[in-house]
Amino acid sequence: MNKFKNEVKATLKDFRELYTHDWWELKESFQFYKQAFRDFGYATQLLLRVLLGVICLFVAPFLIPAAIAIRVLRKGVSHE
Which tens digits make up the pLDDT trace of 15-33?
Answer: 777 666 666 777 788 888 9
Q: What torsion do the CA atoms of 52, 56, 59, 65 make, to the nearest 10 degrees?
A: 150
User: What whole-number distance in Å separates Cα of residue 19 and Cα of residue 11?
Assistant: 12
Q: How far is CA 76 from CA 64, 67, 69, 71, in A?
A: 18, 14, 10, 9
Number of structural domains (the chain) is 1
pTM of structure = 0.49
Q: What residues make up the domain containing 13?
A: 1-79
Question: What count of other Cβ atoms lies within 10 Å of the Cβ of residue 73?
Answer: 10
User: What whole-number distance in Å separates Cα of residue 15 and Cα of residue 20?
Assistant: 9
pLDDT score recorded for residue 80: 54
Higher-confidence position of 77 and 42? 42
